[in-house]
Each structure stands twice: as C-alpha cells, then as structure tokens.
Amino acid sequence: MASKQESVYQIFSFQDCKSSPDPIFELPAQCLTPEPVPIVIDNGSFQTRAGWAAPAAEFESPLLLFRSVAARSRGAARSETQIGNDIPNLEPLRWLLKSQFDRNVAVNFEIQELMFDYVFTHLGISSEGSVAHPIVLTEAPCNPLHCRQMMSELLFECYRVPHVSYGVDSLYSFYHNNTRRKLQPPHTGIVLSSGFHCSHILPVINGRFDAVNCKRVNVAGSQAASYLQRLLQLKYPGHLAAITLSRVEELLHEHSYTAVDYHEELEKWRSPEFYEREVHRMQLPFSGKVPGGCVSVEERQERRAQQLRRLQEINARRREEKLLQDQERLDRLMAVQELLEDGLLDQFHKSLVELNMDSAEELQSYINKLQLAVEQGRQKLLHSDGAEGKPEVSELEQPMDEGDGVALMDPDFPEDTLPEKPANVVQPVFNMAEYHQLFVGTERLRCPEILFQPSPTGEDQMGLMETLQYVLARYTPEQQEALVSNVFLTGGNMQYPGMKERVERELLAMRPFQSHFKVTIASRPALDAWYGARDWALEHPLSGEGGAAEGWISRQEYEEKGGEYLSEHCASNVFIPMKIAKPVPARPTEPSVTTLTSTGASAAVTTVTSALAPSSSTAATDVSMVTS
C-alpha cells in the first residue's frame, strides 16, 4: 500500500538552464539585393527577438532571442557590458542587471543603444556609422511622444537607418493570427495582452486601434513571479537562498495553471488524496553527504589519526615560528649588550630607550629568559621530531607575547570524545533529499490568479476581466457584440493552461443571457508579435524610389515632422500630435484702455468664453483681444 501511494508522487528537478552566447551570423546576400531587407525587432520588456523580414524559409523565425537585460559593473568600460545570452547565469549578477524599460515603456536609451548594438552585430551588420536596413520596431500601447522621439533620434541620428516603422506588439500578434484564420480585413475585436510588466486591454474597431478606450493593468508576469517567490520563502525559510527568481520563473512557466473556478479548485486541494496526486515536489540540489551519518569504526579511527597528524603539524610549525622570533629578539638584545661592553654608553642608553627598558640589569634579565626559552624550544623540536606517539605539551609552548590559541589546537584531546554506539542500536536515517524538496501545491494556481484578483499582492486596482467589463461598457450594444465576437489572448503571461477556459467562463457571467462571444488564443503567445511584424513588413514593402509607404517613417519625414511623428497603420498606435500653444506677443497698451475696471474685463471675458464652442485656440485669441 505504501509503495502504491509513493508511486503517485510527482518529483521534478529544476532545470537551471544556462544560456549560451549567441553566434554572430553572416549577413546573407539575399538581404542586400535588390534592396536591403527590413530588420524586425520585437523590443519586449522580458525578451528581445530579432530577425529578417525576408520571404526565404531560413528567415521564418527570429534568429536572436535573449533577455532584455544588461550587466555592467560600476566603473567598467562600455565594451565590458554583458547583454542577454552573454550572461550564463543571471542570479550572481542580479543586483547589476539593468533594463531599458520602466514597466513596459523604454526610458533608458543608453541601455537601448547597447541592445541595438548587440542585435546589429550578431545579425552580421558590420558597416561603420550606419545601418542600411529599414527597421520594424515594437513599442508600448499609447507610447509617450517623448519616448518615441528619443527612439527615433537614436535610430536616425546614431544608426542613420533609412526608414522606421513602429507598431504595438499585441496588435501585430492580433494581425498575424487573424491572417492565419483567414478573417477578412478590416478586423474588429478586443485584445487581452499580458506580458512581463503589465497587461493591456486593446479594442480594435474596423482595423484601427481605439486608443481612447484602451486600459492598462499593472499586474503581469513579474508580479506573479515575485508573489510566488514570497510565498515559497515564507513557507521554506531554510531555503531562502535556493529559491531564486530564475527558479521561480521556471515554476511559473512549467508548473502553474489557471483555475477555471478558483474557489472550487481550492476546495479540491483540501482533499489529502487530491493534494498527494497534484502537488509538485521540486527537488533542490543538495550534497549526499550527511554529517554525523553511519560511519564505521575503522573510518572513525582513520579520521582521528588524520586530525591528530594535522594538529601535530600545526603545533610544530608554530613552535618553529616562535623559536625564530625568540632567536631574533635574543640576537638584538645581545647586540645591545655588546654596546655596553665596548663602552659606547650613548648608543647603549639610546637602544635601551627604544627597547623600553630602564637599566642594564633589566636587559640581562630579558636575555636570560630568552636564552632559556630558546633552549627549551630547541629541545622540544628535537623531542617532537624524534619521538613517536603523542608529544607532551607544557605551558612553555604557549607564546609569551600573544594568545594565539595554540593550546586549543593541542593534539592531547581525549580519545573517548566520540563514544561509539553499539551496533545493534538502530539510528534514525535523515532523508536529505526530502528535506531539500519544495512542495508546490496551491501556489500553482494562486500566482496566476493575481491577473484576475490583484489584491493578494497589495495592488489596489481592478483585475483583467473587471477592466474588460469597464471597457466594454463604453461602447454601444452593437459595438460590444462585434468586439466580443473576436476576443484575442496574447502575451507570454497568457500561456498558463486553462487561461482560455477561464476567460470564457468570466465572459459568460459578464455578458447578457444567450449572447454570443468567441475567445481565441495566439498560436505562439510569446512569439506571434515578431511573426506579425514580419508579415506586416512583407506585405507593406517600401517603394522603389525612396518614398515612404503607409506605416513607414523616412528620414526626411523625421527631419520635417519631428521625432515623435508616427505613420499609422493597422497595428500601430494612434498619432496624436502635441500642440504647443505659442505665446501671443504683448502689445503696448494705451492709457485709456487701462481705465477699464476689473469687473468689466472679467465680465467681457466670461461672455466671450461662454459663447465659444469651436476650439481652445480661438478662445484664447478672443480672450486676449478682450483683455487687451
């Protein structure tokens, strides 16, 4: 019965995968002729993916996949920075890791430049001073204009790229999967995207992103990993150092799942049979040597003999060092005494002061003591070298000037300090392997659940489905029907088993009775953003005469319209130019105008502003005219 019960256990080992450096590829000839092929970069906050937008079969998948982190010690040169897969193990350098992102928005462009250098170098681009290939780059939904301006400035000014196209990663994934499902454009639907730092709800109406009604939830994969690490470290305080963030991420990716009904699933875990069947025992690495284990009598005696020899060697070495020190001090004192015998009284008294002595009698007393100590030390060395067995240790072996604790390491320790137990006594066996196991039970579903209920992590905000309901309420019933007919799940944090079923159950409770909806999940939630950007680049080639097609920003447009300019397309953000109000030049006022009372001026301003409806710019003009 016991063997049958033990066979149900699921014991897993941590893979602790070490990344290997990416190879430096050669630049393919077909990527240069007849025109330079675009480079597709999915600039994700967890992982960066880069490759060529070429129709050849060898370029159908990204060539580079690496973590979006850089490690550089303080004061180190730029060339000493380790990026992505150049770091075999992230844990020793965790405190040095830097990213270009603040949540999901790129703000650290020094690190971003290092990422671009890494990508271009490993793709085989060796041209000095410029990159002749167009760039397709992903950005965050509703990316701030300043961040896009800095990114365009980096690409156009530093790398001198000819064209750039920006798009939202989850919209690229939406575009790619709709194309694969043979849906006719323009597409309408709502995208639920969850990545590493935050999650988004992105409505798409008639093929265009509705940026006004999109929402962000600041709960995603990094919060789930931190929550799981906190739970396990509280559960196993003896293994704090072993529960690293890398292993926690492995637990999330390989062993976690989303409960369709959270409370019902928790009730199942109350059953001991269910717990033993579903709990995952994660085996931590450990050493098989158990201190104080079963050791034979011969091995114990051999260990004692080795310890005895080691202590004897240490004592002999210390005696030699003490003898040399006493001999050097004796020689020095004898040299001072010779000064007295030679009649050099001035030098003799000066030497006595340096030795902190008062008279020749005190000097002679120290000389006699040192001569006795040196003679005894030599006798003991000869005795310890020639004698067999344990040497006798007297009090004179201890140093006179320093308590270095030689007596504590003396070989004269009693032989019966480790009493031997009878052979017939059964000693309890300590299971070292079981002590180093992490029992991951309800944590498997509690951590993915924070996407729907963020409150356990301390986040004071709505969950993903509650936010979806809030977004849908901003549309008419007809638009809601169109949106929920194509609910699309994408992002690396949507890969938990049961995620699609959970969203369907939540929508069933949210939508009106007998209403229809359809939920689909990306075929590769973490990679489809890159594949969608590649498909878009292949279907929207640049014109041959250097002019920019739809979605592409040329260098000339960058110089004319500014770095924040965005050429919109089906997977891009909405470009809302920032209007900067120009100050109206002040005109000299006439004395007669200044006699207007403040009450009259304010009444005139109120009349004008209340009658204005067209725009704020005309309102400002009219107000300035009345006040002047």
pLDDT tens digits for 490-501? 999 999 999 999
| Nearest partner of 522 among 494, 549, 551, judged by Cα | 494
In angstroms, the Cα distances linking 457 to 30, 196, 262, 492 are 51, 16, 16, 20
Strands (E), 429-470: 437-440
| Segment among 103-117, 263-277, 281-295 with least mean pLDDT | 281-295
| Segment among 23-37, 452-466, 487-501 with least mean pLDDT | 23-37
DSSP 210: -
pLDDT at 541 over 70: yes
| Nearest partner of 180 among 567, 534, 542, judged by Cα | 534
Q: Is 394 helix (H, G, I), strand (E, B) or coil?
A: coil
Rounded CA-CA distance 369/329 in Å is: 11
Rounded CA-CA distance 201/468 in Å is: 7
Rounded CA-CA distance 415/413 in Å is: 6
586 pLDDT band (50/70/90 cuts)?
low
In angstroms, the Cα distances linking 548 to 38, 208, 270, 335, 536 are 13, 20, 62, 96, 15
**Residue bearing the bigger pLDDT, 3 or 501:** 501
Angle of CA points 512, 514, 517, to nearest 5° = 80
**Residue bearing the bigger pLDDT, 353 or 239:** 239
End-to-end Cα spacing for the chain:
97
Contacts of 351 (CB under 8 A, 6+ apart): 336, 339
Rounded CA-CA distance 48/123 in Å is: 13
**Residue bearing the bigger pLDDT, 384 or 159:** 159
Q: How many CA atoms lie within 13 A of 69 on its CB side?
A: 16
**Residue bearing the bigger pLDDT, 424 or 512:** 512
Of all residues in the chain, the percent with pLDDT exceeding 70 is 81
Rounded CA-CA distance 477/480 in Å is: 5
pLDDT computed for residue 595 by the predictor: 38
Over range 569-576, report the average pLDDT: 94
pLDDT at 248 over 70: yes
Q: Is 192 helix (H, G, I), strand (E, B) or coil?
A: strand
The answer to whether the CB of 548 falls within 8 A of the CB of 567 is: yes
pLDDT computed for residue 89 by the predictor: 92
In angstroms, the Cα distances linking 449 to 22, 255, 468 are 35, 14, 16
Strands (E), 412-497: 437-440, 487-490
Rounded CA-CA distance 180/474 in Å is: 30
pLDDT computed for residue 582 by the predictor: 62
pLDDT at 57 over 90: no
Contacts of 298 (CB under 8 A, 6+ apart): none
pLDDT computed for residue 243 by the predictor: 96
pLDDT at 610 over 50: no
Mean pLDDT score of the chain, rounded to an integer? Answer: 84
Rounded CA-CA distance 193/214 in Å is: 11
538 pLDDT band (50/70/90 cuts)?
very high
325 pLDDT band (50/70/90 cuts)?
confident
DSSP 11: E
